[in-house]
Amino acid sequence: MKILRDLFKDYRFCFSFAVLVIILIMAFLSRFSPHDPTLWNVVPKDLKPSAKYPLGTDSNGQDIFWQATFAVRNSLIIAIIAGTVSRVIAILVGMVAGYKGGTTDRVLMFISDSLLVIPLFLIMVMLAMMVRKFLNLVVLGLLLSAFGWAWDARVIRSVILSLRERDFTKTAILSGTGTVKLVLKEYMPFTMPLIFSTLINNISWAIGLEITLAFLGLVNLTIPTLGTMLNWAITYQAMFLGRWWWVLTPVFISVFLFIALYWLSVSISEYLDPRTRIQRVGAE
């Protein structure tokens, strides 16, 4: 496809694509794990990486490679839930506020601004402590999504405010075009680069916040995620005891994942923007 050919001209997209393919393969391999990720002492403890155990074993008696496959899968599930739900909220709030204006705009932006000025991290910590017993993957994803839309809704609103004043909007309204059709047909193409960019950035934000909450022990530590892997490694002082493979596995995966998501967001946003696409791949 021409789109992929153009995108693969960007080294950032190539790197991101390769990393995300590896991450997705790891997540898929979790289906074939020989061990239950919630059980301890299924393999010898504290073994260095070897042919039998590619990433070694930890002090809980778990194979780190297979734990990493579950951790990647679960972290992605949380992030995708958070990113998708928050995008739906951001799009609805931003477009309705920008298009309707007036009282509707003021009310929606008041709610959005309220979420922007409150100490978000402290609120997340408090809520995580309150619902910790029920904090499975879906609940955590929905909890993150409830706080991940406010800034993006305001940005989308600003785009819609600009589009509402253009001549094609007035022409569409005078020709009898309905609101839903106008938004989907006329406004959506202009906001797609922003939506894709904020989706990927929000996924990255959700992964980072999950790692932070898990690091503080505020999630269900029996569910393997990148954050809970890091929590257990630090709890057992793995780095001080020379078990570097235990600590570096979630750290390296997280770092490469963050870089890949950021570069993917930048490269796709630039491609979807007609002005930067012309600069990169030439006028079509």
Q: pLDDT digits over 50-59, tens only? A: 999 999 999 9
Q: Give dist(CA 36, CA 62) in Å, integer.
A: 9
* Long-range Cβ contact pairs of 275-282 (< 8 A, separation 24 or more): 277/6, 280/6, 280/9, 280/10, 281/6, 281/9
Number of structural domains the chain divides into: 1
In-domain check, residue 84: yes
Dihedrals phi, psi of 205, to nearest 5 degrees: -60, -40
pLDDT of residue 131 exceeding 80, the answer is no
Of the listed ranges 16-25, 119-128, 132-141, the one predicted with least confidence: 119-128
The answer to whether the CB of 56 falls within 8 A of the CB of 50 is: yes
Q: Within a domain: residue 262?
A: no
pLDDT in tens, 110-128: 988 888 888 777 888 888 8
Q: Establish if 47 belongs to a structural domain.
A: no
Instruction: Kindly state whether residue 50 falls inside one of the protein's structural domains.
Output: no
Residue 15 forms part of a structural domain: yes
The verdict on residue 87 lying in a domain is yes
Residue 8 covered by a domain: yes
Per-residue model confidence (pLDDT) at position 251:
95
Return the CATH number at 152. Answer: 1.10.3720.10
Instruction: Report yes or no on 43 lying in a domain.
Output: no
- Look up the pTM and report it: 0.87
Which residue do the tokens 């994942």 mark? 257
Distance set, CA 190 to CA 162, 211, 272 (Å): 11, 34, 9
Identify the sign of the CA torsion 199, 257, 36, 221: negative
Domain that holds residue 83: 2-36+60-254+273-281
